[in-house]
Amino acid sequence: MTTIRELSHREDLLEGGHRLCAGCGASIAVRQVMLGAGGTPVVVGCATGCLEVSTTIYPYSSWKTPFIHNAFENAAATVSGVESAFKGLQRAGKIPADKKAKFIAFGGDGGTYDIGLQSLSGAMERGHDMVYVCYDNGAYMNTGIQRSSATPMGAWATTSEVGSVGQGKPQRRKDLTSIMAAHNIPYVAQASISDWKDLTSKAEKAFAVEGPAFINVFAPCPRGWRIPYDSTVEIAKSAVTSAFWPLFEVVDGEWIYTKRSVTRENRKPIEEFLKPQGRFKHLFKPGNEALLAQVQTEVDRNFDHILKRCGL
C-alpha cells in the first residue's frame, strides 16, 4: 500500500478553482482515485453531471489530463472506444508498443446506475482495459435532486416527496456494486471518501489490472442531502460505521471485506447516519417509527449479504 508521504508527492490531476459546491464529495473522490494512477498518463471521460458541468465551463478546464465530455448514457462506451483506438494505433505502429496509458470514466449515480447502465455493462462484458468510477451521491443532483435507483429507501427527493401521499422513496436502493461483480471482471470495489487509504489502495489495484475495473465511491452531496458543507466526510464516515455503505472488493471473483473494524456486533445504528441529513428528517417524526425500522432492517439485510459473500 502506498504511504501518505508518497501520495503527497504525486501530482493532483484535478485543479482547484472549479465550480463544484463547497463540500462536494465528487471532487474528493476524483482526487483520491486519480492518485492511484501513480504517474501513468491518464485519459478521462466524464458523463454529463455535476462533475462535468462544474469542472469544464468553457473556455476553462480543471483537468490536467486529456478530457472527453459525454452524454449521460455513454461515458463507458466512449472511453472503451478511446481505449480501443489507442490499442489500434499501437498495432498500426503509430504509437509505440511500450507506451502506457490509463483510461478512466467518471459518472454520477444517475449516469451509472440508471441511464448509463447499458453502456457500462457492455464495456465491462467486452473486457476493455479501463476503470469506471461512479461517484454515488444518491440522486440526480445536477438536474434538480430527482430520485435515482441509488437513492436510499425513505429519502426525500424532488420526485419522491414527503407528504400525505408518501414519505420519501418507497423502494430499496439498487446494489450496483454486486451487479458489476456479477460481470466476472478482474476488479470491483466499493469505497468511501471518508477512508482515503482504502480508496487510494483500491484505485491503485483498479489501474493495475489488465482489463476492466469498477469502483463505486460514496460521495455525499451537501446541497441534495441538506447537510452543512463542512460535514461531508463525517457523514460519509457514518455511512461506513453504520454499515449503510460496506467497504469491500471483489478480486477475480473473490469477495473481500476491507473494513474489519465494523462488524455485525459493533456497527452503529442507522439513525446516526440518517439524523444529520435533512432529506431524512421526516423519518424521525411521530408516526414514522415503522418506516425507520424498515430502513434499519434493509441495511441489516444488505450488510449481512455482503459479509456472507466475503465468507464472514
Tell me if 195 sits within 8 A of 247, measured CB to CB: yes
Q: What is the pTM of this model?
A: 0.96
Q: Using one digit for the tens of pLDDT, what is the confidence trace for 137-176?
A: 999 999 999 999 999 999 999 999 999 999 999 999 999 9
Q: Using one digit for the tens of pLDDT, what is the confidence trace for 261-280?
A: 999 999 999 999 999 999 99
* pLDDT value at 244 more than 80: yes
Question: How far is Cα 180 from Cα 168, in angstroms, rounded to an integer?
Answer: 27
- Rounded to 5 degrees, what angle do the CA atoms 151, 275, 218 make? 40
Q: Using one digit for the tens of pLDDT, what is the confidence trace for 177-197?
A: 999 999 999 999 999 999 999
Strand order in the sheet with 254-257: 67-70, 42-47, 102-108, 131-136, 213-218, 187-192, 248-251, 254-257
Of 70-74, 88-92, 245-249, 282-286, the one with minimum mean pLDDT is: 70-74
Tell me if 257 sits within 8 A of 295, measured CB to CB: no
Cis status of the peptide bond prior to 170, with omega within 30 of 0: no
What is the pLDDT confidence band of residue 1, given thresholds at 50, 70 and 90?
low
Task: Return the percentage of the chain with pLDDT > 70, whole number.
Answer: 100
Q: Which three cell numbers stand for residue 106?
A: 467518471
- Domains of the chain in sequence order: 4-309 (3.40.50.970)
Question: How far is Cα 192 from Cα 190, in angstroms, rounded to an integer?
Answer: 7
